[in-house]
Amino acid sequence: MNGRPLDGITVLSVEQAVAAPFATRQLADLGARVIKIERAGGDFARRYDSTVHGTSSFFAWLNRGKESVVLDLKDEADAELFRSIAATADVVVQNLAPGALDRLGLGYDALAAGNPRLIYAEISGYGTGGSYTRKKAYDLLVQCEAGLLSVTGTPEQPSKVGASVADIAAGMYVYSGVLAALIQRGRTGVGDRIEVSMLEALGEWMQQPYLFAEYGGHPPQRHGASHATIAPYGPFEASDGTVFIGIQNETEFAGFCRDVLGAVELADDPKFSLNEHRVANRDALSELIGAAIAETPSDEVIRRLDSLAIANARMRTMAEFSAHPQLAERDRWVEVETPGGSARSLLPPVTAGSYRPAMKPVPDTGEHTDRVRREFAATEERN
């Protein structure tokens, strides 16, 4: 194995909660040194819960491989230490309130003046400029503002997504933006300033529903776990559990009618022959499918679907996901150390032939403060 792609890259992050930590954890997995600045008491995500040997499940997920340094950036000595680290860092990432670091003299202009190669990435709820600049933004609230709840849930009740998708989207765009900036810096020798807002990151993910509504004359309707614009695509009850079925074209639908429903004539029925007709007659079609498989075990339904190369899935619980045979067969689980013990964690989804992700321990609050103080005090003395 070769070295990791970001070996030798130093990332200084003033981060909390989910979005920025998700971006920097991925940089750490690629070999970057990530120095995480925490306030006294630590990142408040440490206290969201205590399920992973006393550590928050959020924190254990988002912070492996980092060095935790507790600083009070309002204290001039600590602010000077921050400047010293930033002077030799490759990347700064921050998701504090808009303008917070600038007011402390630690914003992009101040840091880049002493380090023109610095890549400075900031995450905000709504972006700089505009009437929402200082509006507080949390994941669920941004899901609302981006219209996600309007297309998620049942006809009677909107529902949030069960994962922190607005935070994750913003973190992913900072991660990819930093990687792009590192490539650009390799060409120009100069760093860059990157801004990602949660609203715009999730808004990118909402482009298809937006286009459908903007040019189709009406918004996508909420259909629970079924697809809003493709049918049949969603959950159906077999005799012993739920099977999700996803039909993508008329050839698949014809085979489905023949070999799963035992009703080949449905493929030519004007109510079902094209996807738009099936969507318009979704309820009638769902009743026919439900009646056809209600007495059939889910394993048999899945066997028939697989034989036709029709997409399908079981609706798994978290325990069933943990025991997923595909993840076990591909050896995707590893142990990551946390302050209270090891936690079984998934490898990152990108599998490379030349390196393995770092997967280093999750730090305790301030675990590396003294060491980093000594290191950068020595740097100042040498300079």
* Positions marked catalytic: 227
Q: Give the Cα separation of 94 and 319 in Å (integer).
A: 34
Strands 66-70 and 33-38, how do they pair? Answer: parallel
Strands 333-338 and 10-14, how do they pair? Answer: unpaired
- Are 362 and 336 spatial neighbours (Cβ–Cβ below 8 Å)? yes
Tokens 């029925």: give the residue. 269
Angle at which helix 207-216 crosses helix 198-205, to 10 degrees, equals 60
Q: What angle do CA 311, 314, 318 make, to 5 degrees?
A: 135
Q: Which two tokens stand for residue 253?
A: 């639908």
Q: Give the Cα separation of 286 and 161 in Å (integer).
A: 24
Burial 357-366 (b: 16+ CB within 10 A, else e): bbbbbbbebb
Q: Give the Cα separation of 356 and 62 in Å (integer).
A: 18
For 88, the enclosing helix (H) or strand (E) is helix 76-88
Q: Give the Cα separation of 126 and 146 in Å (integer).
A: 11
Q: 74: Cβ–Cβ under 8 A, 6 or more apart, which residues? A: 104
Strands 233-238 and 241-246, how do they pair? Answer: antiparallel
DSSP lists the bridge partners of residue 312 as: 245
Q: Give the Cα separation of 198 and 139 in Å (integer).
A: 8
- Are 359 and 336 spatial neighbours (Cβ–Cβ below 8 Å)? yes
Q: Give the Cα separation of 36 and 71 in Å (integer).
A: 10
For residue 206, how far is the Cα from the chain centroid? 15
DSSP code of 174?
Answer: H
DSSP lists the bridge partners of residue 111 as: none
DSSP code of 288?
Answer: H
